Amino acid sequence: MLQALLRPLLLAALSLTILPASSRAESVPSTGLSLPAEVEAFIIRRNDCDHFRGEASPDASRQAQIDRELRRLCTGTDVALARLLKRYAKNAKVQGALADYERNIEGN
């Protein structure tokens, strides 16, 4: 019974690894806001960055993981935000989507 249920899932998973990337559905995360792709990518990255900015742990191992994620996700976001705000200065939807992000989180 369980094997019969798992077989279609296994076949679907295998087909994703066999199909060329161009024939697969896009797997890029989206904000659902219909923004330019680079703006959506920034929002997703920055939201993840902000999540880790608000996290701290007394456990040294966990704190090291948090610190790695902060470096990976947050580094360069100040410059990226400024660039997007400038590039899309006349796009009210983009300006609105980016309005609440702090401009300087990297301490530069």
Residues near 40 by Cβ (< 8 Å), separated by ≥ 6?
Answer: 29, 30, 31, 33
Whether the Cβ atoms of residue 106 and residue 78 lie closer than 8 Å to each other:
yes
Q: Say what the alpha-carbon torsion angle 47, 27, 82, 63 is, to the nearest 10 degrees.
A: 40
pLDDT digits (tens, 9 = 90+) for 17-60: 344 443 333 444 666 778 999 999 999 999 999 999 999 999 99
Domain limits of the chain?
Answer: 32-101
What percentage of the chain carries pLDDT values higher than 70?
70
Across the chain, mean pLDDT equals 81
Of 16 and 98, more confident: 98
Whether the Cβ atoms of residue 101 and residue 81 lie closer than 8 Å to each other:
yes
